[in-house]
């Protein structure tokens, strides 16, 4: 949703206090398409962090500005959860893609890199007609997420109702979901419960802009400054260890060269002594 001009946007070190950043934000497909970007948060996922409470320490030490982060109003969004029905499925040689319809008025594309380990190229890109490399090779619908998790989509097809979790990305200007988790929704009761969760998340979180009191901003900045200082000190200690290691290696190399030089000199002395003794014996024989 495009934010009103007066909404404040907080620095990245404040994101830990956001009710949307460190969780799977319960979105609809239409919500995904309304996400906006801001300068400085369009980077690549070099450090993928999952929305689990036990991983908040990793989030604290991550370069947030280097990650793909989108905004709903002023809520920072990185991970989303959607529930809907698969209405199209495509399995190309290097990517698995399906379209999710949740009756929100929009369809969102969900994509995942294909795990190509030991699999030959297919000759047809539709789910039901992918041709294996050999007649004995089974159809292969395994993917590997950007975070390295293996997912198997063999049990999902057009008509499957699923719960999807993933990061937000874009392709040719269109928002899409980069798959991390997928589970089947087997009953209408479970589907209705998921929709109620989405509606509750909208009414209690997304319906109003995020507001952070100044004193909490100050505390978060102090914490971020402390984390940065500790990281700097850690890098300094690592550099010192590396310098000492190189110095020891150079000293060992010098000592080894010295020992080799002494060994060569002793060998030359012994060789001259042997030649002298041989010469003395030859003279005695004469």
The residue written with tokens 């959860």 in the block is: 81
Burial 244-255 (b: 16+ CB within 10 A, else e): eeeeeeeeeeee
> What is the mean predicted confidence (pLDDT) over 100-107?
96
- Count CA atoms within 13 Å of residue 169 on its CB side: 17
> What is the mean predicted confidence (pLDDT) over 85-105?
93
Residues 6+ apart with CB under 8 A from 151: 112, 142, 143, 144, 145, 179, 181, 182
pLDDT at 199: 96
Beta bridge partners of 123: none
Q: Quick one: pLDDT band at residue 275, thresholds 50, 70, 90?
A: low
Query: Contact 78/66 with Cβ under 8 angstroms?
Result: no
pLDDT at 177: 96
Q: Quick one: pLDDT band at residue 235, thresholds 50, 70, 90?
A: confident
The reply to whether the predicted model has a pTM over 0.85 is no
pLDDT at 135: 42
Residue with more model confidence, 160 or 43: 160
Query: What distance in Å separates the CA atoms of residue 191 and residue 179, rounded to the nearest whole number?
Result: 19
> What is the mean predicted confidence (pLDDT) over 177-206?
96
Phi, psi of 84 (to 5 degrees): -175, -170
Interstrand relation of 25-26 and 79-91 (parallel, antiparallel or unpaired)? parallel
Residue with more model confidence, 46 or 195: 195
Query: Contact 24/81 with Cβ under 8 angstroms?
Result: yes
């Amino acid at each position: 949703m495009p934010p009103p001009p007066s909404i404040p946007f907080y620095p990245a070190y404040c994101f830990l206090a956001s009710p949307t950043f460190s969780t799977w934000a319960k979105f609809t497909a239409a919500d995904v398409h309304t996400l906006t970007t801001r300068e400085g948060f369009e980077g690549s996922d070099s450090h993928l962090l999952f929305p689990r409470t036990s991983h908040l320490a990793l989030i604290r030490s991550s370069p947030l500005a280097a990650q793909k982060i989108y905004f709903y109003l002023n809520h920072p969004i990185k991970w989303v959860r959607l529930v809907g029905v698969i209405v199209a499925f495509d399995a190309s040689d290097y990517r698995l893609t399906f379209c999710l319809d949740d009756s929100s008025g929009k369809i969102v594309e969900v994509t995942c890199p294909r795990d190509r380990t030991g699999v030959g190229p297919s000759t047809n890109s539709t789910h039901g007609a992918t041709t294996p490399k050999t007649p004995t090779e089974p159809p292969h619908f395994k993917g590997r997420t950007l975070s390295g998790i293996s997912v198997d989509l063999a049990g999902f097809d057009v008509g499957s109702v699923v719960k999807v979790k993933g990061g937000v990305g874009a392709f040719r200007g269109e928002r899409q979901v980069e798959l991390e988790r997928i589970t089947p929704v087997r009953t209408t009761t479970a589907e209705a419960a998921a929709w109620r969760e989405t509606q509750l998340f909208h009414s209690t979180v997304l319906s109003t802009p995020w507001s952070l009191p100044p004193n909490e901003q100050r505390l978060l900045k102090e914490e971020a400054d402390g984390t940065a200082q500790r990281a700097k000190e850690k890098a300094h200690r690592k550099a010192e260890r590396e310098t000492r290691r190189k110095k020891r290696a150079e000293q060992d190399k010098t000592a080894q060269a010295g020992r080799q030089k002494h060994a060569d000199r002793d060998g030359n002395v012994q060789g001259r002594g042997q030649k002298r003794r041989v010469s003395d014996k030859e003279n005695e024989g004469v």
